[in-house]
A and B are shown apart, each in its own frame.
Chain A
């Protein structure tokens, strides 16, 4: 394999390793759990902000409640369910009806797949690959152009 190919392989390997390294996730700290759950709860008094982002009093007392429940050892689902009992499904920014198997997740996937299929169909006949000019050709062309009157 030429040097270039080795370099390409090495680069791709490095990227792959970096991604794999970053993908590892240990257990979350309590604060990270509170953050995560708060990010999925909607602040009742704001326009679409999550409980994590909103500086309002209501959001802060909700965060305090989440922190207490996390400290008590409740699971994410139990904590979310507690708020759902009080506020309804509306309080979840990622509603249960629209779980990973729901329509709203399928739609983007379907759109991309359909679009990609149509696009690939359009690009059926691969035209003969046009090579970039060799250095010799380039040199000759440059001479030719340079000698042309402006």
Chain B
């Protein structure tokens, strides 16, 4: 039995089980039948194990270079190292859908085992929804749409494969970026399934929100970190010196992240004030729908992008799935609209819930503009045949002001009380941060930043940081007064007692780091390109770069030509080796940059061209990019903050302590 047989068989068995599970869970939800639920649970375990077996079978086939499978022949070669062979599981369409299916099966398992124990009825219906989704994806991988185990006819089996796309074997980060993103994408289906279940059952309570809070936070964090990982890959591997190009597929990933961020905040309004329920359900549906839209845009080939895989029948199927989700979600929501009406209204414009509402509006506006910008070329061409491009200039111009407004709200929102704030409160809360903001603006001007955007960014970043520090200080002070703890213990206790709030503040700090990194790297990057002979040198922003010579590095699967550079000046002493990599089956060379990362500047070097015949000259491009490392560090901080926010709070007699605690500012 070959890997291909195991995999194909496992997937088909899983599909059968999944359909059974759909029926069983639906019946169990409808008739509250315990036996049907038990059978659905068993099926969930079985389906997960089968899909896992299929994924492992594909990895096995890749490691063994089994070229009788089309997928292996197209994405693997005898010369491919084992690590890259294994991660080629997600190198192309069929394999990546297989990975997606595995994660989805995991989500089904989680809801079947954990979810049904806490909220039986709701979770059972949600389980049925998830089984339906799993069945769809299993149908994709068992039919011509995306079957990874398609065989090559016995007489045509090649002796060697074409190998993975060169871009995908250049960097170990390929191991991280897609799985992180897929985890983020797929986990949004859990809140979605519960929301649909709540609508079907006419649930008016908000219990499903609390239940799915972990899944929502997890998917948001994984998606966010996955996007930052993608930006890092773009920066470190693609070699053009930037990290974000408003590529349609980048846009497809950030749209659900934006709506998920909006959701994480508006959910707090629902929990505290029982408002915005319709809005929250709409956000959950939109987030999930956007992940499918993103998959559709990536896989269908309708937009030309770095990620576009070849066109296949999967396009129309994903489009149909997307429309079905929208129709189902919107239909159910409109059906239940009256039941979900809010009782009570949002407080004064300067209350926390109002700020959250404004923030939500901005996030949704940002999402819609990204969507419009991405789809507009398609619309224009369909309508008038005109071919146009919408790129960075448009997106930057629209999204930067929205981002700055959001940054401002991020500073004032958490500091305002629910219901409204008095003038005295405002003065007490914001005077300090305002002064820090002014200092930030002055620092920006002195650092030579030009343009209103960057200076405003620095001012707002300083403002938000000051508010966060203020909150931590206040929290520590309150705990010390209440419990007499040492500052360190009080600080830690802030996270163990109220991880959601203080973890959230850490996330905000991470976002501030990212925003400052973006503003600095966009506004103050210095660049120079020169053609040098060996021994020649160039000077950029105080750095002295000497070109020592060209060198060839032959490897079994590729040939790399590097330029040896020595960097001095500004206290730096580095050796960088930017190169151009040629793979046997690709005509163009892939650039591999030489980067010296630093906490203040990155020195980014590119070998743009070189003398192929005599190695007598090389065109070197150097970019000095300030503060870009803060982007990656900020991403890590966001991840840590999300973990802290997920920390289960230790609550004792919370109902009694809550109003008191709130008054003294420890909550």
Contact = CB atoms under 8 A, between A and B. Distances in A.
Interface string B393-437: 110001000100000000000000101111111011011001101
A140 to B, nearest CB: 11
Contact of B422 (A115, A123, A130): A130
B663 A133 contact: yes
A104 B362 CA distance: 17
B451 interface: yes
Interface string A1-41: 00011011011101100110111010000000000000110
Nearest to B419: A127
Residue of A12, A95, A150 with most chain B CB atoms under a 10 A cut-off: A95
Given A18-B442, A124-B345, A127-B348, A39 B424 contact: no
B361 A119 contact: yes
A122 B389 contact: no
Contacts of A104: 372-373, 376, 390, 394
B420 A88 contact: no
Interface in B649-667: 652, 657, 660, 663-664
Interface in A67-102: 88-95, 97-98
Contacts of B444: 18, 22
A95 B438 contact: no
Interface in B106-152: none
B583 interface: no
A74 B403 CA distance: 35
Residue of B248, B606, B608, B652 with most chain A CB atoms under a 10 A cut-off: B608
Residues of A contacting B: mostly = helix
Given A8-B434, A127-B348, A15 B441 contact: yes
Contact of A18 (B345, B392, B427, B459): B459
A57 B482 contact: no
B438 A129 contact: no
A135 B615 CA distance: 77
B370 to A, nearest CB: 10
B473 interface: no
Given A98-B376, A127-B420, A142-B482, A90 B394 contact: no
Contacts of A90: 387-389
Contacts of B423: 129
A132 B425 contact: yes
B449 interface: yes
B231 to A, nearest CB: 14
B166 interface: no
B320 interface: no
Given A14-B438, A53-B241, A127-B420, A108 B358 contact: no
Nearest to A20: B452
A118 B454 CA distance: 31
B362 A112 contact: yes
Contact of B346 (A11, A123, A133): A123
Contacts of A107: 368-369, 372
Interface residues of A, number: 69
Given A97-B380, A108-B398, A123 B660 contact: no
A116 B606 CA distance: 46
B445 A23 contact: no
Contact of B305 (A47, A95, A126): A47
A136 interface: no
B357 interface: yes
B455 to A, nearest CB: 4
Contacts of B79: none
B238 to A, nearest CB: 9
Interface string B595-606: 000000000001
Nearest to A25: B450
A84 B278 CA distance: 48
A145 B444 CA distance: 46
A92 B349 CA distance: 42
A123 B450 contact: no
A92 B389 contact: yes
A108 to B, nearest CB: 4
A132 B390 contact: no
Nearest to B428: A132
B609 interface: yes
A150 B609 CA distance: 72
A92 B377 CA distance: 12
Contacts of B23: none
Contact of B361 (A40, A115, A126): A115
A19 B455 contact: yes
B389 A123 contact: no
Contacts of B358: 116, 119
A10 B431 CA distance: 11
B365 interface: yes
A78 to B, nearest CB: 19
A49 interface: yes
B237 interface: no
Given A47-B305, A131-B422, A132-B424, A7 B431 contact: yes
B361 A132 contact: no
A43 B654 CA distance: 60
B453 to A, nearest CB: 9
A108 B389 contact: no
Contact of B369 (A98, A111, A116, A128): A111
Given A15-B459, A88-B387, A54 B609 contact: no
A60 to B, nearest CB: 7
B294 interface: no
26 contacts: A18-B444, A19-B452, A22-B450, A39-B392, A48-B247, A54-B240, A55-B591, A89-B388, A93-B392, A93-B394, A98-B376, A107-B368, A112-B365, A115-B365, A119-B346, A119-B361, A122-B354, A129-B422, A129-B423, A130-B419, A142-B482, A142-B664, A144-B660, A145-B657, A145-B660, A146-B482
Interface of B: 239-242, 245-248, 304-306, 345-349, 351, 353-354, 357-358, 360-362, 364-365, 368-369, 372-373, 376, 380, 386-394, 398, 402, 417, 419-425, 427-428, 430-431, 434-435, 437-438, 441-442, 444-445, 449-452, 454-456, 459, 481-482, 529, 591, 606, 608-609, 619, 621, 652, 657, 660, 663-664
Closest A-B pairs by Cβ, 7 of them: A93-B391, A115-B361, A18-B441, A95-B388, A14-B438, A126-B348, A129-B422
Interface of A: 4-5, 7-8, 10-12, 14-15, 18-19, 21-23, 25, 39-40, 42, 46-50, 53-55, 57, 60, 88-95, 97-98, 104-105, 107-108, 111-112, 115-116, 118-120, 122-133, 137-138, 141-142, 144-146, 150
Given A129-B423, A138-B664, 19 more contacts: A11-B438, A14-B442, A18-B438, A21-B445, A47-B306, A48-B247, A48-B389, A53-B240, A53-B242, A60-B609, A89-B387, A89-B388, A90-B388, A95-B390, A116-B361, A123-B349, A123-B357, A127-B419, A145-B660
